[in-house]
Structure 1
């Protein structure tokens, strides 16, 4: 059995329960149940989410005490996803149709055509159901990570989305992601380009591959050039394949910013429609601390959302808040001058605040190295 014994997400798991002749109280997610005989199986208080069922079988299950929530068929995305996305999932269709033909692009265009962040009722329900599925899949994935005997901290890396490939800041973020992974941490980003892509890239690549991959990616430096930007990332992934599901760490992007090409170097991708849920989820998951590289409005928003959580200890103890590039965070955007007096008034012990120009120092502060 898996780490979530109340949830059935594979046919192999289902068969184990069918042998016991009872699905009572369990949630069955996203399975094709066509041809599977459930007539003699107890289903009281069972929940069937997004499963493929005939109308007759669905009616029988409801009549015997189960709840059935089908897929909403109008959308190009699953309304009950049971697992996180992978880079292959998001880029499905690129080989045939380029950037315009990708799954990720099709979902974004559907999102825009159906009201963007203000969708009508049917689309709003579909999006909320999808994001609920991603919530559940992310909880399962992080639970599996944390239960591993050698699990390290989950460390967030935040920073500017517009940082071009090849820049000093991009290379520094890649070095940071690489060093954090080698120290046993799980790198978590917001899933966008720029600093976020660089951190996942560094986490993905083995030691010898990072310098050459960084140079290769500079041929398509700007994310606004969607086609070459995506093709370059796929070429690097193809050149350095990995069977490790966590290779590159975790990213949590949103279709609100779907005009930006997907960051393809995180092994696990929790993509949401709701940016508000996505932002809160990133900060809630990054309990091992956060590194803030230079960024603008979005990064500053994350700084103060994280500070609020740390001030009230609302999600449990927070790891350190590390600000990479001392001059930027003291002269350009002097957030430290606000955070230190704020944290001095905290009702509980707040996060520690550090400024540094040194990636190795940042890694040591986060991992105890």
Structure 2
């Protein structure tokens, strides 16, 4: 008895392949990949699909790795984009950038204004390497004028990988949600041993102490963290002490 085309199409043996993906029955009712490539009628719609985004993400990793692979020893400095020139935290950022450069370390920031700009400025004025890893945001206008080596990213997670992969440690000045996001991601990576010998130094006892008190008084008391997790960060007020801790703690080999 002859098998109809419909029956043949719905048979498990009539699987269609799209690269490594195997499709059967109703899932196989898709145009060939070559048709998507050669048929120009769809215009630019493909550039808004997930497969295209994967390529774009891949290109950001390749660009970041290629640009920063020969950077040498570096430290990522975080802090608020809202710190005004001449303010306490802006001046602290300048001091951090200068001291890191004088110690032979490149300075990596998010490339924005405020404390990020201050650290880049301090690095440049001390003759060091000033790096900015920017991100597309609706309320920022690109890399600050003190960035000598800059990369702009579309995706936060790619950018954050670069912050960690090419730095020997973090120095964190007071900041908002973005700074807290970067801080807790770094703490999580150290806690879970995704990175080793990775010092994290907070500058500003008055600013950070309430947060650390909550960590001790709530997270630790509720059993959400271990007592040893409290040692993941150092808390100081002096930029020179922060840099000294970074140098001392990052002396060992670190891998990501």
What's the TM-score, normalizing by structure 2? Answer: 0.68
Q: Secondary structure at the match of 1:253?
A: strand
1:338 equivalent to 2:190? Answer no
1:311 equivalent to 2:237? Answer no
**Bigger helix share:** 2
- Which of residues 118, 131, 145 is equivalent to 1:250? 131
| RMSD across aligned positions (CA) | 2.8
1:159 equivalent to 2:79? Answer yes
Distance of aligned partners of 1:145 and 1:276 in 2 relative to their CA distance in 1, 3 Å threshold: closer
Structure of higher RCO (CA pairs closer than 8 Å, 6+ residues apart): 2
Aligned residues: 200
Bigger radius of gyration, 1 or 2? 2
- Which of residues 356, 360, 363 is equivalent to 2:236? 356
Cα distance in 1 between the residues matched to 2:231 and 2:57: 29
Distance of aligned partners of 1:166 and 1:289 in 2 relative to their CA distance in 1, 3 Å threshold: same
Q: Are the aligned partners of 1:201 and 1:265 in contact in 2 as well (CA < 8 Å)?
A: yes
What's the TM-score, normalizing by structure 1? Answer: 0.49
Distance of aligned partners of 1:276 and 1:121 in 2 relative to their CA distance in 1, 3 Å threshold: farther
1:300 offset after TM fit, Å? 1.0
1:144 offset after TM fit, Å? 1.7
Residue 246 of structure 2 aligns with which residue?
366
Residue 71 of structure 2 aligns with which residue?
145
Residue 96 of structure 2 aligns with which residue?
176
Cα distance in 2 between the residues matched to 1:176 and 1:366: 11
1:123 offset after TM fit, Å? 4.2
Q: Secondary structure at the match of 2:245?
A: helix
- Which of residues 124, 140, 147 is equivalent to 1:266? 147
Residue 180 of structure 2 aligns with which residue?
300
Q: Which runs of 5+ in 2 are unaligned?
A: 1-42, 250-256
Q: Secondary structure at the match of 2:152?
A: coil
Q: Secondary structure at the match of 1:319?
A: coil
1:258 offset after TM fit, Å? 5.8
1:204 offset after TM fit, Å? 0.8
1:160 offset after TM fit, Å? 0.6
Distance of aligned partners of 1:179 and 1:274 in 2 relative to their CA distance in 1, 3 Å threshold: same
CA distances 1:177-217 after superposition (whole Å, capped 9, x unpaired) = 0110110111111111111111011111138xxxxxxxxxx
- Which of residues 111, 114, 122 is equivalent to 2:47? 122
Cα distance in 1 between the residues matched to 2:241 and 2:64: 30
Cα distance in 2 between the residues matched to 1:268 and 1:351: 33
**Bigger strand share:** 2
Q: Secondary structure at the match of 1:368?
A: helix
Alignment of 1:1-369 (within 5 A): 121-123=46-48, 129-146=55-72, 153-206=73-126, 247-257=128-138, 259-286=140-167, 288-314=168-194, 316-331=195-210, 334-335=211-212, 337-338=214-215, 341=220, 342=225, 344=227, 352-368=232-248
